[in-house]
Amino acid sequence: MTEKNVDVSIPIGPLHPALKEPLRIKLHTEGERVVDAEVELGYMHRGIERILKGKPWNKAVYLAERVCGICSNIHCMTFIETLEKISDVEPTPRAKYLRVIVNELDRIQSHLIANVSYFLGIEHETLAMYMLDVRENSMDALEIVSGNRVHMTWNVLGGVRWDVEDHQLKMILETLDKMEPRVRRYRGMFAHGPLLQLRSKGIGVLSYEDATKVPAVGPVARGSGHPESDWRLRHPTYRDIFDFKAISRKEGDNTARVLIRFDEIFQSMDLIRDAIDNLPEGDIKNRGKVKAGEGFHSGEAPRGELKYFVKTDSAGKIDDITIRTPTRLNLESCVGYMLAGSPSIADAVAIYASIDPCIACTEG
């Protein structure tokens, strides 16, 4: 691309009414068509990794959970499982099932608000408000289990913090039964709504080859034909206990990414029901001590693979930590492919929203 071919450079952000968090997207355009895009981060670094260093693990877990407010549980879970790997601590069978229940409830509410953001991006406020309303049910279910709606601090070394009683499990199942028909209706409204599809189908296409090259993760990758990107397929608890297949589509456009999240909500509901039906009796945690060592561990966040590197000392303090969030891969590389060739500048915000970005957790 040469400068003479570019009519205008249009900035989106860092402060923009359509962006929930600050970043800058510079669009290079020829008339109305976008021919290239640059993404700039660096507007809200919080220094969480630096603050974590030197803290005892049982204090650090609260800060790790606050890397992201939307998918807080998977940060807590992945941090704790990294410590368990370093320290040779195995969670109890009951704890494994309870972890899955809370993790999938958290995935449901995250996918719902991701699609809310997308519908707001294409200015369909009615469907966005419907989705926000049903999301409250999943937040209520998290509160039933943990006592909190956002930061549950559910995972501890060797297990989970609290046990769950039968009446709580029954309330969770009732909540899922109430949610499911509403979410199916909203999926149908999106999939078959002609105006919604005009803003979504064939827009922001990320090909299978480009998704491989980047590489994309999470629903972005699975929307471009990469089912193996679901890290739950390699997670010991999910792999060994539950029978499920990753959901994927081949279109690679905005529609595919939104539908992946809808369909994964139903999958999460099935996993929760399976976990409740087969929940074993027994203790909720194994006693153990954090040992000196270092290790890597990954978990499947709602946005894709979340990777932790942790180094600990003999006192159980954090010597070093690095957190790689899924948005970093999806945002810094994929969005450029999606935006380049977009037929309209107006599609840029919708394409950006379709990856479900989280700038706070990306900048750390």
In the CATH hierarchy, which fold is given to the domain comprising 47-328? Cytochrome-c3 Hydrogenase; chain B (1.10.645)
- For range 220-224, the mean pLDDT: 97
Q: Which residues contact 65 (CB under 8 A, 6 or more apart)?
A: 72, 73, 75, 76, 79, 151, 152, 153
Of 345 and 242, the structure prediction assigns the larger pLDDT to: 242
> Residue 192's pLDDT is what?
96
**CA nearest 183: which of 268, 72, 276?**
268
> Residue 2's pLDDT is what?
47
Q: What is the pLDDT of residues 183-205, one digit of tens each?
A: 999 999 999 999 999 999 999 99
At 176, the amino acid letter reads L
Residue 333: CB atoms within 10 A of its CB come to 17
DSSP reduced 3-state for 34? strand
- With bands split at pLDDT 50, 70 and 90, how would you rate the model's confidence at 6? low
At 168, the amino acid letter reads Q
Domain boundaries, the chain: 47-328
Burial (CB < 10 A; 0-12, 13-18, 19+), residue 222, is buried
> Residue 67's pLDDT is what?
93
Q: What is the pLDDT of residues 111-162, one digit of tens each?
A: 999 999 999 989 999 999 999 999 999 999 999 999 888 898 899 999 999 9
DSSP reduced 3-state for 28? strand
> Residue 286's pLDDT is what?
94
CB 219 within 8 A of CB 211: no
> Residue 332's pLDDT is what?
80
- With bands split at pLDDT 50, 70 and 90, how would you rate the model's confidence at 4? low
